[in-house]
A = this chain, B = another copy of it.
Amino acid sequence: MKKLEEKIIKEGSVLSDSVLKVDSFLNHQVDPFLMKEIGEEFSRLFADRGITKIVTLESSGIAPAVMAALTMDVPLVFARKRKSLTLTEGLLTADVYSFTKEETNTITISEKYIKKTDNVLIIDDFLANGQAAEGLINIVSQTGASIAGIGIVIEKAFQDGGKLLREKGFKVESLARLQSLSGGKVEFAEEALT
């Protein structure tokens, strides 16, 4: 997605060979128009998949995912990283290790909001080692629902999460694919994979 790549070049900050900071438009400050276009792009890419529900992980996935949900006319469910006092019964859980934060979170979704007849699109802001996506796949699969695909805003194509998910047969669409962050410079992969 050209506009996203331009935004990454203009505003992204390369913190190391593996960390790109995009907190001016995605992870802390949020550009609502870009989110809307991202939502529309996910809608276009998964138009033939009969999506009935979008699932993401709090917090940075919510803005792009709610825009996709609006365009696709389906509800969004965001998995929580922490337990809530008012969400206590019928919780499905999965453990997700974050290499960035060096900690394991138990993510939760209420079983009430995903039916086994659902056809779920998973959306997340970043795909690196694939831990978060695998956790969401795990938790959605516990309900018996189908995974229709995985939509990622920024994929670190130099890490193996995307490759592993595609080898398992998932349709993974990433709107920007980073080939390298070496030397403080952002290089995109030549073209998007499906």
Contacts and interface: CB of A to CB of B under 8 A. Distances in A.
A28 interface: yes
Nearest to A53: B29
Q: Is the interface of A mostly helix, strand, loop or mixed?
A: mixed
**Size category, A interface:** 35 or more
Interface in A4-34: 15, 19, 21, 23-24, 27-33
Contact of A29 (B30, B31, B76): B76
A75 interface: yes
A100 interface: yes
Copy total for this chain = 2
A33 B100 CA distance: 34
Interface in A49-73: 58-59, 62-63, 66-67, 69-70, 73
A127 to B, nearest CB: 16
Nearest to A21: B86
A59 B61 CA distance: 10
Given A59-B62, A59-B80, A63-B63, 6 more contacts: A23-B110, A27-B87, A29-B75, A29-B113, A85-B100, A85-B102
